[in-house]
Amino acid sequence: MTKVKQQRMDSGLIPASATAEASSPVAALSSGHLRAALIGNPNTGKTTLFNALSGLRQRVGNYPGVTVETKKGQMCCSGQTFELIDLPGTYSLSPRSPDEMVAVDVILGRQQGEARPDVVISIVDASNLERNLYLTTQALELGVPVVVALNMIDVAAAQGIRIDAERLSRQLGVPVVAIQANKKKGLEALREAICRAASGEQSVSTPRLQSTGTCQRPAHRPPLFPEAFERAVQQLHQELGTDVPEYLVRRLVLDVGGWTEQRLVDQLGEGVRRKVQEVRERLAQAGCPVPAIEARVRYGWIREVTAGCIQRPAQRAVTWTDRIDRVLTHKVWGTLIFLVLMFLVFQAIFTWARPVMKGISDAKDALADLLRGPLPPGPLTSLLLDGVLEGVGAVVIFLPQILILFAFIAVLEDCGYMARAAFLMDKLMARCGLSGKSFIPLLSSIACAVPGILATRVIENRRDRLATILVAPLMSCSARLPVYILLIGAFLTGPGFAWWLPGLVMFALYAIGLVLAPLMALLLKRTLLRGETPVFVLEMPLYKIPSLRLVLRRMFDSGWAFLRRAGTLILASMIVVWALLYFPRGGGPEQLPYDVRLAAMQKELDDLKEQEQAGGINPSVLEDKEHQIHALMAEWKRQSYLGRMGKAIEPAVRPLGWDWKIGMAALASFPAREVVIGTLGIIYSAGKQDSDEIREAVNVADTPLARRLKEARWDDDPTRPVFTIPTALSLMVFFALCCQCASTLAVIRRETHSWRWPLFTFTYMTMLAYIGALTVYQIGRFLAG
Amino acid sequence: MNLDILLPLELLRPGEWADVAEVTGEASWVGRLAELGLRSGSRLRLLQAGWPCLLQVGGCRLSLRSEQGTQILVRPVAC
């Protein structure tokens, strides 16, 4: 093993940092692990194999600047421990984006902090062997021993395809092990082959490297590119310097406009582009046109090495997948089934999650009540109860929806249906510059943008994925519902209003998102995310029964990722807003701070309640006390920093028909839209309001908050009510369009690995919301005369 | 039917078999299609016409939506 590494170091193909780690026996011993990387086309059972080999202990990791995730696990085999890296599924090692570069960089040992793998496991689908071997031929050029895992032999056998693995191994020049990853068959043989290959006992040749830094091709080295091509690569390699691995020089020549080209031009200057163009022109003249040459050579070689290894029936058997697809991809029936399925998913996110969410919310309140008794009133108690506990509650409350959505996505994806759904919706989504894969994330965003954004991971195209992420928060999520219900209930129902008006307004508010999101996506694709529209190709995998383990794993991973990475940010923003509402807490030589006075009054109220139950006092005393508490609460919040900020921005929100109190409530609802209900409740002295109370109220107009809102008057003109119909509409439109949701922003930050996109989303949506609210209010006022 | 003619893929009828004669368009996408097995010389069957269309290529099914500037020319075969 050391010998192999020594040779590699000598070849100079590895950058110094990686070389030091890889070649030092001490480093190898201290980490104690050999490393194996797993590559394969999508839908070849790669994840299943990874799970089968590595067991339960897995870590999900991200590399900086890319959106794909790699998983790591450990595999034991004849006393040795391997670190197993699951690289993102790919059809080739011809990187066209940073995401696709990850696999190449990891295998070449160029990924920061990662030693070069000792062996590459290339998993191939036996029922579609030739195409799958394309990736393997590229892996063979990377200078790391390769083991081919021939998966799904049972599926192939069912189609009458038989493969002679032994002969294939001889002709291919690397170990080939037939396996059935889902049934855990053949894994022992695979482990042994991996072990042997990693320790250099490979029976077949790996490229022999010479100390000059150039590669002498052994007779076996696959696949054979024409002599002219190899010469051109060698020459270019020398010109560029030997610290660029040879594989990347080949990619530079072969991938027109690929990521290798972009990266090397960035590193070495524009001269590279000119040089490569010259090389390509020369090659074209020599009968090796780029990029056609690559497919020709590789498939030609694949045909040679598979000769005599594959037995196929003369007539391709009609498979179950064919039969099912006749219905599921049918323009009418397929679409109908898809819509019904989506309705069920959607309904499940709404209804199944509701009781759990309510349970979480109740548990949080119960815990707060339990703690509020023994703890003395003061900043620390408030931080713990109103800041941290509320914040944790606000994070955990999303979990049921995320888990349910991901259970569905995992099942649909694992059984092979997701690709059909994308196929059916593609035409529609293409109109707004996206592809069919964006449909499910956008639809799920109607329930909640957070799981919706997480679901965009199925979109490989970077620009499409980003566009989908950026417009997903425009879909009207369930957190907007309480705001709509409250304002519609308070101002647009009752005598004098048509019975159909509330429904119509609600529909219009949802339609705003449904119409604007695709338009915005189109705009983004034409401006910021402009780029050539990729040819949309999507493989329809064979149908199979989803694996429960994979589904559970996927749910667990997505839930955990959300809690750990987005949760902290949500919590932080909740605490900031808490502090802005809490301080200054008043008090001085003569008077106690607000919270202490409130706590005392609350205790008095509780005592009064007990007396009332005993029948000792007049209920009006009780009401008076409640009013006093609400008034004091309102006074405290009005003079808080956030209250002052509300007053400061009043000139800006006045054109929307808002007074400073609404402005302040909008500011306070930055962490989560539904907070606006609670803040409006406090600021309008109606006591603390829960958005669930509004949602569940039989007659919203009768809730204390709705009554208070109707009574509200402008500070400078006590005869004029604040909440007119235009103001209510303006507030609703604002909340329909704004991105007052720290969770969404935190998830965007997590998924794009950059602050730029959450900032962009917040800015554009707030601008859109402001313009929308302004337009609605001004037109409304004009019409109302 | 004259089997020697070249047709754009869109003109193939559902259920018909054809050999790919030429894939033209931006180099990187010609490359990507080749990785998926769709390249000159490969045999395909049009399962569903339209935009996107559904193809059987080798052992797999592909859904394909080609944009302007990308063209797949095929030669229908009796099969």
Of A206, A220, A224, nearest to A294 by C-alpha is: A224
* Contact residues on chain B for A130, CB-CB shorter than 8 A: 37, 58-59
Q: Note the CATH architecture for domain A2-209.
A: 3-Layer(aba) Sandwich (3.40)
The crossing angle, in degrees rounded to 10, of helices A399-414 and A548-561 is: 140
pLDDT score, position A685: 64
- A431, A525 Cβ separation under 8 angstroms: no
Q: How many CB pairs lie under 8 A apart between chains A and B?
A: 125
* Contact residues on chain A for B70, CB-CB shorter than 8 A: 535
Per the listing, tokens 């197993």 go with A84
C-beta atoms of A92 and B35 within 8 A: yes
pLDDT score, position A7: 38
Per the listing, tokens 């042994």 go with A192
Q: What is the DSSP string of B3-64?
A: TT--EEGGGSPTT-EEEEEEEES-HHHHHHHHHTT-STT-EEEEEE-SSSEEEEETTEEEEE
Residue A210 exposed, middle or buried by CB count within 10 Å (0-12, 13-18, 19+): exposed
C-beta atoms of A96 and B32 within 8 A: yes
Residue length, chain A? 785
Q: Give the pair of three-digit tokens for residue A551.
A: 């589904």
Q: Give the pair of three-digit tokens for residue A703.
A: 């809730």
Mutation for A interface: B57, B64, B65, most A CBs within 10 A? B65
Domain assignment of residue B71, given as a range: 7-77
In angstroms, the Cα distances linking B17 to A313, A521, A536, B78 are: 17, 37, 21, 7
C-beta atoms of B35 and A295 within 8 A: yes
* Contact residues on chain A for B27, CB-CB shorter than 8 A: 256-257, 290-291
* Contact residues on chain A for B31, CB-CB shorter than 8 A: 92, 94, 254-256, 291, 294-295
Query: Is A284 near chain B, with CB under 8 Å?
Result: no
C-beta atoms of B58 and A134 within 8 A: no
Shortest CA distance from A91: residue in chain B: B35
Give A555's contacts (C-beta < 8 A, 6+ positions apart): A403, A406, A407, A410
Query: Is A202 near chain B, with CB under 8 Å?
Result: no
User: How far off is chain B from A538, nearest CA to CA, in Å?
Assistant: 5
Query: Is A255 near chain B, with CB under 8 Å?
Result: yes
pLDDT score, position A174: 92
Residue length, chain B? 79
Give A188's contacts (C-beta < 8 A, 6+ positions apart): none
Per the listing, tokens 């010998």 go with A3
Number of domains forming the structure of chain B: 1
C-beta atoms of A538 and B62 within 8 A: yes
User: How far off is chain B from A96, nearest CA to CA, in Å?
Assistant: 8
Considering only CB atoms, B31 lies closest to which of A129, A294, A435, namely A294
Torsion angle (degrees, nearest 10) of CA A40, A175, A107, A62: 40
C-beta atoms of B52 and A423 within 8 A: yes
Q: What are phi and psi of A506, to 5 degrees?
A: -60, -45
Query: Is A595 near chain B, with CB under 8 Å?
Result: no
- A283, A293 Cβ separation under 8 angstroms: yes
Give A371's contacts (C-beta < 8 A, 6+ positions apart): A381, A384, A385, A389
Query: Is B27 near chain A, with CB under 8 Å?
Result: yes
Other residues' Cβ atoms within 10 Å of the Cβ of residue A312: 15
Of A732, A758, A725, nearest to A743 by C-alpha is: A758
* Domain spans, chain A: 2-209, 215-311, 333-482
Please give the radius of gyration of chain A, using alpha carbons only, rounded to the nearest integer: 32
* Residue A113: alpha-carbon gap to chain centroid: 24
pLDDT score, position A768: 95
Other residues' Cβ atoms within 10 Å of the Cβ of residue B43: 15
Q: List alpha helices for A352-432, DSSP H.
A: 353-372, 379-382, 390-396, 399-414, 417-430
Q: What is the CATH number of the domain that holds B43?
A: 2.30.30.90
**B28 within domain boundaries:** yes
Other residues' Cβ atoms within 10 Å of the Cβ of residue A401: 25
CA angle B31, A309, A542 (to 5 degrees): 55
**B59 within domain boundaries:** yes
| Terminal-residue alpha carbon distance, chain B | 13
* Contact residues on chain A for B47, CB-CB shorter than 8 A: 325, 329
pLDDT score, position A637: 81
C-beta atoms of B64 and A537 within 8 A: yes
C-beta atoms of A94 and B65 within 8 A: no
* Residue A46: alpha-carbon gap to chain centroid: 21
**B1 within domain boundaries:** no
pLDDT score, position A248: 92
Per the listing, tokens 């639809």 go with A443
Is the bond preceding residue A222 a cis peptide, omega within 30 degrees?
Answer: no
pLDDT score, position A211: 35
**B2 within domain boundaries:** no
pLDDT score, position A687: 64
Q: Give the pair of three-digit tokens for residue A733.
A: 């439109």
Of A586, A613, A610, nearest to A598 by C-alpha is: A586
pLDDT score, position B69: 64
- The 10 Å CB-count burial string (b at 16+, else e) for A613-643 is eeeeeeeeeeeebbeebbebbbebbbebebb
Query: Is B58 near chain A, with CB under 8 Å?
Result: yes
Residues in chain A where the model's pLDDT stays below 50: 1-30, 203-220
Considering only CB atoms, A91 lies closest to which of B35, B58, B67, namely B35
